[in-house]
Structure formats: C-alpha cells, structure tokens
Amino acid sequence: MPARRRNGRRRLPSNVVFRAIRAAGGPSAVCEALGVSLATLARWRRVGRVSDPRAVLMWAALIHPEASAQLALARALAGLPGARRT
C-alpha cells in the first residue's frame, strides 16, 4: 500500500484559545469586543492561554450566557487545572 500523501492543507493547533476565537465570531470580533490588539490575541493563541484576567471574564461572558459555562470557559482560557474543555 503506498504511503499517504499530504493534501497541502495545514492543520491549526486546537487549543482552547483557537476554539474560543472561532466560537466568538473570529479574531476581529474578539479584538473589538475585548479591546485588545491583534498582536495580543496572536500571542494568546501561541501560548494557548489568556494572561489578562479581565479579558478572560469578558470573553467567557461573550460566548456563554449561563454562569456555570462561563466559569468553565474562563478557567480553561486562563489555563487553570480542572477546567472543562469546551
């Protein structure tokens, strides 16, 4: 059986920040809602967690209307252990 060829598509890393950006409507929507620059958002994507506590809470409220889901997402975005992955 021949080796499987790559189709040329890149697979983006799937961390919680990437998934939250997609869930919130894309990078420009997140930057506008949180009041951060694209460079800051890119840094958070590379690291895989959000270092600004205010942004974590605002982002979680942007995506989830109920408090328990907001808390779980906020813990995951902040990189805290025991956070439920969304």
**Ranges of each domain in the chain:** 16-78
Alpha helices, H only, the chain: 16-23, 27-34, 38-47, 53-63, 67-78
Residue range 16-78 in CATH 1.20.1630: no
Is the pLDDT confidence value at 7 over 80?
no
What mean pLDDT comes out for the span 43-63? Answer: 93
Q: What does the alpha-carbon distance between residue 66 and residue 44 come to, in Å, rounded to a whole number? A: 24
C-alpha–C-alpha distance, residues 79 and 69, integer Å: 15
Q: DSSP label at 71?
A: H
Residue 83 has pLDDT above 60, yes or no: no
Residue 30 is which amino acid? Answer: V
Reported as a pLDDT band with limits 50, 70 and 90, residue 15 is confident
Handedness of CA 28, 68, 84, 54 (dihedral sign): positive
